[in-house]
A = this chain, B = another copy of it.
């Protein structure tokens, strides 16, 4: 017997039509590359997306064609999201912080037909244009007045002119919900970047899960400021989840420094945000230095890297901002787990609740996970046994773009993370498989050591890598960026570990640096750090 319900495919166009129809005058506020603040509504975004869909068709785009973007978070970027996916094209956000050669490689691998970019990236596109044979049209995301007088980009089109030339007399098409909606590349540590191809179905299911109370908890009452870039796994799904819930959205544009963010949070009465730890570091430093408070900011998702416990504590205790620690990856759309409490934890003392919040958390419905040992056997969920973390679910990739070999093991996607899971299903990342420190056959979690260092009042940022040791093979080496004006010593830092961790896990040495290298998406570049420190001689050898 079949159900007798209406058959309606899960399409991204249904998100924007919902937002326009039921949250029409809710604002989308954008700090523009042009320097000003722009205001529009969900009705405007939907209408302009329809016009843009017409324009893309007029430029010759056909179902399945990729539309590339090199852009900050802003309303035009949002319009491209909906115009492309909504009309059956594939939205391909490219990370502009990558090396130019990598950008060219990615655009060519995706075979982008159109490339839209913020004016910030004009010099970059000028440099690359000749190397991008699949791109038929370059579109500057600006108006006529701001178009460059001269450029080497061939036949550069103006975004606003394209939109204004159309009448909006366009109906979003209906098609198979498993059709590709967007593509996002992840820069592996080895080999070339690999593309994850999301579908309309996976994006919608992910957006619903992301908006759940134990997800990001998004409601129409929220004003959302996505700090996480729209070129980073679709800003963790926020452009979709915001339309789904009818949130008010504030896009920060290119300036993500503490001062710019704080002023925007206050001016636009932001209630919710999301981003990587590095960003909150900058924001907190600014707020602390200037003795400021947040007046409307209530909660934030922190993910992309482990949220240092000290940051969690500061945000919650000193600033009243609830921290939702989350874990995910490009291959997961990206949401996997969030550190949310259960009913039985209500009675726990604050300290114990904090301990759970510091973990990467429990899966949101849709995702399942498991940990396996070196032999591939399932590890117990005891909060101690660690293993390679596997995941599966309807918004986890089945394979990479253009790759025939399946990345799956027995139907599970191997994350490359090493984790423990406790009896209540709280997962904690102890390392990246590649970053684990193996000392005398025992695993030491670099993340745990980093968190302890980050809790020291004089530490701005910390990383721990493996250094060669003739006896133990590897021993932990702590790399520290001190806070401005603070004097730190090796002895102070090592003493700080005492009582906080087993003696044999305490780092052997400390290196002070002015800066720790980060990837384009804000993660610490452990490989590079190891490379830089490969000749470091431990005092213990």
Contacts and interface: CB of A to CB of B under 8 A. Distances in A.
Interface of A: 1-8, 10, 15, 18, 21-26, 63-64, 90, 176, 178-181, 196-202, 205, 208-209, 211-214, 217-223, 244-248, 271, 333, 340-346, 362-363, 365, 368, 392-401, 411, 413, 423-425
B3 A180 contact: yes
9 contacts: A3-B202, A6-B393, A6-B398, A7-B398, A22-B362, A22-B363, A22-B425, A23-B425, A221-B346
Task: Select the residue from A220, A394, A424 with max chain B CB neighbours within 10 A.
Answer: A220
A176 B1 CA distance: 11
Contacts of A345: 221
B18 A365 contact: yes
B5 A396 contact: yes
Chain multiplicity (copies): 2
Contacts of A18: 363, 365, 368
Given A217-B213, A425-B23, A4 B398 contact: yes
A221 B394 CA distance: 25
A211 B394 CA distance: 19
Contacts of A425: 21-24
Contacts of A199: 2-5
Contact of A5 (B1, B198, B217, B340): B198
A207 B252 CA distance: 34
A68 to B, nearest CB: 14
Task: Select the residue from A2, A198, A214 with max chain B CB neighbours within 10 A.
Answer: A214
A469 to B, nearest CB: 39
Contact of A244 (B21, B362, B365, B397): B365
B343 A399 contact: no
A3 to B, nearest CB: 2
Nearest to A271: B343
Contacts of A247: 343
Contacts of A8: 392-394
A397 B197 CA distance: 32
A64 B423 CA distance: 36
Contacts of A340: 219-221
B368 A2 contact: no
A255 to B, nearest CB: 23
Contacts of A202: 3, 5
A6 B196 CA distance: 11
A333 B5 CA distance: 10
A235 B363 CA distance: 25
Contact of A180 (B1, B180, B217, B362): B1
B26 A343 contact: yes
B221 A397 contact: no
B1 A221 contact: no
A510 to B, nearest CB: 40
A209 B218 CA distance: 12
Contact of A178 (B2, B176, B222, B411): B2
Contacts of A21: 368, 425
Contacts of A399: 4
Contact of A365 (B3, B64, B179, B208): B208
A343 to B, nearest CB: 4
A176 B2 CA distance: 9
Contacts of A219: 212-214, 217, 340
Contacts of A397: 4-6
B248 A343 contact: yes
A441 B497 CA distance: 82
A217 B218 CA distance: 10
B2 A180 contact: yes
Nearest to A15: B365
A449 to B, nearest CB: 29
B217 A6 contact: no
Contact of A23 (B90, B248, B342): B342
Closest 8 A/B residue pairs (Cβ): A3-B199, A1-B64, A213-B219, A22-B425, A5-B202, A1-B180, A4-B197, A248-B343
Nearest to A203: B3
Given A212-B211, A214-B245, A5 B394 contact: yes
Given A15-B365, A18-B365, 6 more contacts: A1-B90, A1-B197, A2-B176, A5-B198, A25-B423, A214-B219
B197 A3 contact: yes
A209 B212 contact: no
A5 B211 contact: no
A317 to B, nearest CB: 20
A16 B362 CA distance: 16
Contacts of A24: 425
A213 B401 CA distance: 35
A209 B14 CA distance: 14
A205 B423 CA distance: 29
Contacts of A341: 220-221
Nearest to A408: B6
A247 to B, nearest CB: 7
